[in-house]
Amino acid sequence: MRHRLLGRALPAFVLLAALGGPVLAQEGTTYQQPPAPIADILDAKPTPTASLSPDRGTLALYDRANLPPIAELAEPMLRLGGYRINPRNNGQANSRVAWLTGLSFQPVAGGPARAVQLPAGARFTSTSWSPDGKSLALLMDAPTGLELWVVDVATARARKLTDARVNATTGAGYDWTPDSAGLVVRMVPEGRGAAPDVTRPPTGPTVAESMGRSAPVRTYQDLLADAGDEALFDHYFTSQLTHVPLNGRARTLGAPGVYLGAGVSPDGRYVLTTKAKRPYSYVVPAALFPAEVSVVDLQGREVKRIADLPLRDDIPTPFDAVAAGPRSVQWRADAPATLVWAEAQDGGDPRTPAEVRDRVFLQAAPFTAAPTPLVDLKERYAGVSWGDADTALVTSRWFNNRHETRYVVDPSHPGQGRVLIERNYQDRYNDPGFPVTEPNAAGFPVVRFAADGRVLMSGPGATREGEYPFLAAMDLETGQSERLWTSATGEYESIVGVLDDGARKLVTRRETRDAPPNLQVRDLDGQATALTAFPDPAPQLAGVTRQLITYTRNDGVQLSGTLYLPAGYDKDRDGPLPLVMWAYPAEFTDAAVAGQVVDTANRFVRPGGSSHLFLLTQGYAVLDDPSMPIVGANGVEPNDTYIEQLSASAQAAVDAVVGMGVADRDRIAVGGHSYGAFMTANLLAHTDLFRTGIARSGAYNRTLTPFGFQAEQRSYWEATETYTEMSPFTYANKVNEPILLIHGEADDNSGTFPVQSERFYAALKGNGAQVRYVVLPLEAHGYRARESVGHTLWEMTRWLDTYVKNAPPRE
């Protein structure tokens, strides 16, 4: 049996290196600290986050925990059915929880914030406003589990509603009732007992077989592996639906079950549930297990079985493929108790010719009449925004050509929709934004209308000069929008909420190049009033300069990147600098869209975590996010020319920074995380543009992701040559520059199993490359522990100092 419980004593990190001399088989050492002032910045207090109450009268300000210690990640963790959970508190694993440590209420009308008294050392998560905005719920971590607490806004007093039995393995674990008088909570069943003993010797082998049915699956992580895992999954994921009033006695709803989701209807009479059932699978996560989607009443009695879903382990490989049967089942936000869902009309396979791809259905309580078709879609259903009884906005998308269609639908006369907008959803310049929504009386999001009946829209407002968020009013008859307000030149001011019925007062989050983000009330007919005064979290970087640079690839595609230069740098005095390019490729179907340039001059930028921008404190220039577009126009698959386009983009970027005089062609490094690590290894294998590379948490052998990866929809057997040529593992013998590999030991990202770096290191070492391979214990795809983050930055700085900054001229 595979032992799934993690939480053990480990060396600070594991290092394997092949540096041209004696091969170090394995080296353990202690965590290292990055050079000053990086450590001080990492340890600075994080800026609080905020959320606006549904009544638009209060901002909740949350203090955030800083980078957790490695001991916190070392708590036991179980990997079950695609989830990572903490068996101590029956919630998600610490690697996936951003703990909050403090709470205060800031009146939108002004005045001082009121701090909420919480227990000493409190940490909590999963906050949620009551629909009336008078209370705030949260999950408090306790020694033996998670407790549900509620905070009264008027008094700023917090109290515990339940003991430490909330089951938050698959999410928050609770949902407010629309009257704000209580919550429906998934609780650990009373008297559950100890977890199953899975340490006993196995009684036989684990057997899988496939008897001729085509069932391709992607590279999922953290799956069930054996009968022991199944028993643990049942133990930790079984919950008891419980109605917990703010005042009064709790009562259970029905029998316990493996609930993956539970949501109360807008009228408070029903609960929509998704319940997993056996037989479980060892090849797909719990979200694709056999499941019952049902409506139950507040006594726990099943009112309607919406779907009895089978195991969905045979979804075709194209990204536009979906499972057959009802999916995305939700409550209609503007009706008392009406369900909405989509069903594929092509069997879920985009390769099957069909005029209608998806049909959206409605079914109202008491759920005895047949479902009513709301609208037929020529693409996949991507969501709906509910307005009023005769207005809904439905969105569909088709990944293969990046096409999006938005429809206006009249729910009172269902059956057809009118096309409002058609666009390439990667087109940033022409993005009309999305409807502004606000919670209705039941707490469900509904569309905000202007006084003249037009729909309020907000969006990022991307232009060549930068993103400038806006508020607009769209005519649903013509699709034409009128800008009501746009963030001022040189400022990035995004909308947090609309305060008045006339949409003339907003709560916004404002920042500039030099001013950190803060909240304010924006009067469109007057001035702005500050609500917060959060300081610069990293004033050590205040003198860093940045500029957008543009250049052209040899095939005419417009490229860009943000060039950062260290504080105090003078090109005439200091000459070219060692430079790091940190990038992440992206696939496009339109060269013009791929070449869109958006400046960031109005954004406040400070690094956090293991950001490469910390290298600015060590005398490096950084070209951040240089465009690496992989374009496949007119039906051509982008990845069939991946290496050629990637190499051409890198060449253009190198030429641009060298031509500016800020970089020395002989002292440039390339790096990236995840798909950016994959890019880094390919550039070292196929070009000689860089002195070294840093590849973090990447995948390097695409035969290990044979049913698609990133934006590649074809399987390995459909595109064998492309998979082979894109894999830097194939060309490990061509990597003739030093490369630093870093990977989290517990990587949870689909496709980037740690074995990817392990085998790539072995291939590089076997071919005589200069390579250092660092494994970070307990870390997932992104690195969270303070020790891990600090050590990663130490590794990066030391590596670059050796092979770029202080490297001798190339032979």
Active site residues: 674, 747, 781
Q: What are 546's two structure tokens?
A: 């940045």
Cα–Cα distance between 613 and 616 in angstroms, integer? Answer: 6
**Cis peptide before 279, with omega less than 30 degrees from 0?**
yes
Take residue 261 and report the two structure tokens written for it.
């989701």
If residue 237 lies in a helix (H) or strand (E), which one and from where to where? helix 227-237
Give one DSSP letter per residue of 273-339, joined into a string.
EEEE-SSP-SSS-GGGS-EEEEEEETTS-EEEEEEEE-------SSTT---SS-EEEEE-TTSSSEE
Within 727-770, residue ranges assigned H as helices are: 754-766
Q: How far is residue 485's CA from residue 451's CA, in Å, rounded to a whole number?
A: 16
Q: How far is residue 205's CA from residue 196's CA, in Å, rounded to a whole number? A: 19
Instruction: Answer for the pair 797, 36: CB distance below 8 angstroms, yes or no.
Output: no
Joined tokens for residue 577: 């600098």
Place of tokens 């060449």: 651
Give the bridge partners for 671, in sequence order. 582, 694
- Beta strands 629-631 and 577-582 are unpaired
Which residues, other chains included, contact 462 with Cβ-Cβ below 8 Å and sequence gap of 6+?
428, 429, 431, 596, 598
Sign of CA dihedral 212, 213, 214, 216: negative
CA atoms within 13 A on the CB side of 381: 29
CA–CA separation, 365 and 631 (whole Å): 48
CB of 405 closer than 8 Å to CB of 379: yes
Number of neighbours of residue 230 by Cβ within 10 angstroms: 20
CA distance 63 to 534: 12
| Helical pair 642-660 and 675-686, crossing angle rounded to 10 deg | 80
Which residues have C-beta within 8 Å of that of residue 740, sequence separation ≥ 6?
Answer: 692, 693, 694, 695, 771, 772, 774, 795, 796, 799
Are 339 and 305 within 8 A, CB to CB? Answer: no
- The residue with tokens 């709906």 is 384
493 strand-pairing partners: 510
Q: What is the Cα–Cα distance from 517 to 496, expressed in whole angstroms? A: 12
Residue 145 neighbours by CB under 8 Å, 6+ apart: 88, 89, 90, 91, 163, 164, 165, 166, 188
| Phi then psi dihedrals of residue 614, to 5 deg | -60, -20
**DSSP string over 159-188:** EE-S-S-B--TTS--EEE-TTSSEEEEEEP
Is the distance from CB of 433 to CB of 447 less than 8 angstroms? no
Q: Are 599 and 642 in contact (CB under 8 A)?
A: no
- Number of Cβ within a 10 Å radius of residue 412: 10
Q: Which two tokens stand for residue 762?
A: 């072995």
